A = this chain, B = another copy of it.
Amino acid sequence: MSETQRSGCPINLTLEALGDRWSLIVIRDMMFGNRRHFRELLTHSEEGIASNILADRLKRLTENGFLTRADDPSHKQKAIYSLTEQAIQLVPLLAEMGAWGRRHLPATRTLSVRAEILENGGRPLWNAFMDELRESHLGTPRPSTGPKASDQMRDAYLAALKEEGETH
């Protein structure tokens, strides 16, 4: 980490390492939306992240060990970002954040179904999801051959999107 830490409390250190809320938003989009390129992260952003903020947070997250950046072999001029093991292990924290927000704040149905699946699946599902992320971001083959946690989340999200389209 680049800065002096204000205290050695693990909660404080986590907050300092992550920086501001945009950093977790970027990690969320890479984790649950499988976005790996700058352009995707920018144009598909639900929160409308600004280009300069995105660039800064990608840089900061890379410096702080949450992301790695490499040339994408399939796109000559594009960089591809990957989550590190340290970032993948944020799944439980993001799951708890989603569970809390779903319960206490006016979350929309479509954007909540994935959080609901994560919450109901609990730690076994989080572990399976982390294994999937290790496969796609770190190249470590996942041990389980069962149904993918990400498929469950994607299917539920697409069904909710469709339902939303039918109601509006």
Contact of B25 with A94 in the complex, beta carbons under 8 Å: no
Q: Is A96 an interface residue (CB 8 A)?
A: yes
Tell whether A12 pairs with B47 under 8 Å between CB atoms, given A7-B111, A92-B96, A96-B96: yes
Contact of B46 with A7 in the complex, beta carbons under 8 Å: yes
Instruction: Report Cα–Cα, A25/B7, bound state, in Å.
Output: 11
* Chain A residue total in the interface (Cβ 8 A): 47
Contact of A6 with B47 in the complex, beta carbons under 8 Å: yes
Tell whether A46 pairs with B89 under 8 Å between CB atoms, given A25-B15, A96-B96: no
Other-chain contact of A107, B9, B97, B103, B111 (Cβ < 8 Å) = B9
Residues of A within 8 A of B (CB): 1, 5-18, 20-21, 24-25, 28, 46-48, 86, 89-90, 92-108, 110-112, 115
